[in-house]
Structure 1
Amino acid sequence: MSGLLALLDDVAGLAKVAAASVDDVAGYASKAGAKAAGAVIDDAAVTPKYVHGFEASRELPIIWRITKGSLRNKLVFLLPVALVLSSFAPGAIAPLLMLGGGYLCFEGAEKILHVLFPHSAEAEAELPADPAHLEEQKATGAIKTDFILSAEIMTIALSEIPQAGVAMEAAALAIVAVGITVLVYGAVALIVKADDIGLHLARVGRLGVTRAVGRGLVRGMPRFMRLLSTVGTAAMLWVGGSIIVHGLGQLGWHLPEELIHHAAGAAGAMVPEGAAAAVEWIVTAAIDGVLALLLGLLLVPVATKAIAPLWRAVSGRKAAGH
């Protein structure tokens, strides 16, 4: 009997450890996912353009295809690489994170330049006339873009997870990967179909309020998409700038981080105590965003005049060889 009690006690102890481990994994995943918010918002803001112009019946299948590609990017390719880096080259995480932060700065600056100086629509003339081919091209492009954003999300997540063993890190990263993918592409599906839902309500709604809601959705979605794009750009610059500044500190140059901290503290001291924390956060985010924009403006010509032509030349040769 005493042996059975001892066994039950051991089982209870193991259950407590397992429960604690689950709590730890959930906590790590939640913290990591919150830190990756900028890239997540950008992902949600970017994806709807890939289904623009298709028949309504093809929108959800395309989003589902991109969702599967995103999960494959994160779980099959990026998660193993992240675990290898964590185990064998942890010093490479900060530089890689800064590289991703630089990409976010570039993307944010490019979006702002595109608004200020709209590009010509020459690329539209190059789109294939065959709907199936166009769908293939758009979905492939979306999955490639997702790979870059997913790499940034997974790197940010990895940097926020403490050294807790391969199993714990893998579990936390998998939760982040699946959770963020479901969140982003679930939101994208709702956004893409919102105008169709609104049109349906406006046409067949039995109550005046229902029809009014439908008309509001139809009229409001273009404004919402513009707002989402603006928020996504601001989030990219904020997160990209904070990653660069924090990364410089990790590499030994603490001056930018200290100057921003002092400026935020000075601004917080000028307002009532209850608002100090919010003001300090706003000032920090604003400075990070401005620095990110300046860095992004420097990176735009480098990327468009040097890196992009080189990439096209290399990928063109690969395609020709294949």
Structure 2
Amino acid sequence: MEPGNDTQMSEFLLLGLSEEPELQLLIFTLFLSMYLITVFGNLIIILAVSSDSHLHTPMYFFLANLSFVDICFTSTTIPKMLQNIQTHSKVITYEGCITQIYFFLFLAGLDNFLLAVMAYDRFVAICHPLHYMVIMKPTYCVLLVLMSWMMSALNSLLQSLMVLWLSFCRLVEISHFFCEINQVVQLACSDKFLNDMVMHFAAGLLGGASLAGILYSYSKIVSSIHGISSVQGKYKAFSTCASHLSVVCLFYCTILGVYLSSASLQSSHSSTVASVMYTVVTPMLNPFIYSLRNKDIKMALKRIIGVPVM
């Protein structure tokens, strides 16, 4: 396509996962199913935590917040993708793309911060059990969540505003099923050095700090569990953080896989397919990980639905 002038484009094109017409029904059905499972599964977790007084503890307060964020996270991208497949359209408005970038960054960052907060909660519970209720007071738990929301909101607001400063002088075709900020920035025809710097700095500072906090917490947890003499005591201590550790591994391994695939493979389509893991699959699996590996959640669900959960 020939470059035009520097007037701002009014719409972008989302190329999606595949342009093959015969695959559109399969993709629509698959993603609709995963989206419904994600919403239903996380709503069940929220319902269990809110309705069962036994789960009114800091750990499950953070879990309910994580489930709410996961619902919003998938709702930022999947409905628009399904709409485009249904209407045989690839268009997303410029305003819609910026909005999607903002909420995607906001909710992805919030996921990241909440996992770090949950790791800190498990660190206090296992390493300082006698002071747990004193440290993890309800007001302190709310403050931790509010700080996570504020830091994530400021980061996403800054990066979204910086995208607004960019100019696009040709029809923008995004090789993704949503407005992924890195691809959008690279397609701009104005100088994007500052955008690249801010993106890498934010990823390193916010993502790196959260991951470092998680690793530090679990290093202390492993050290404390190693010091427990009885096997039963070790198992009981480890079981309180097994579900969270599984979610952390799934979240960070899938994100790492996306960036490794995008760095090693020439095709941006490969990176797009890989990103499905952390944008869709991980939020869908989180409720199953917590319900299948958590005795308290199983008992709460049994009380709610009257049927034992395997």
| TM-score between the two structures when normalised by the length of structure 2 | 0.31
Q: Comparing both structures, which one devotes a greater share of its residues to helix? A: 1
Q: Which has the larger radius of gyration?
A: 1
| TM-score between the two structures when normalised by the length of structure 1 | 0.30
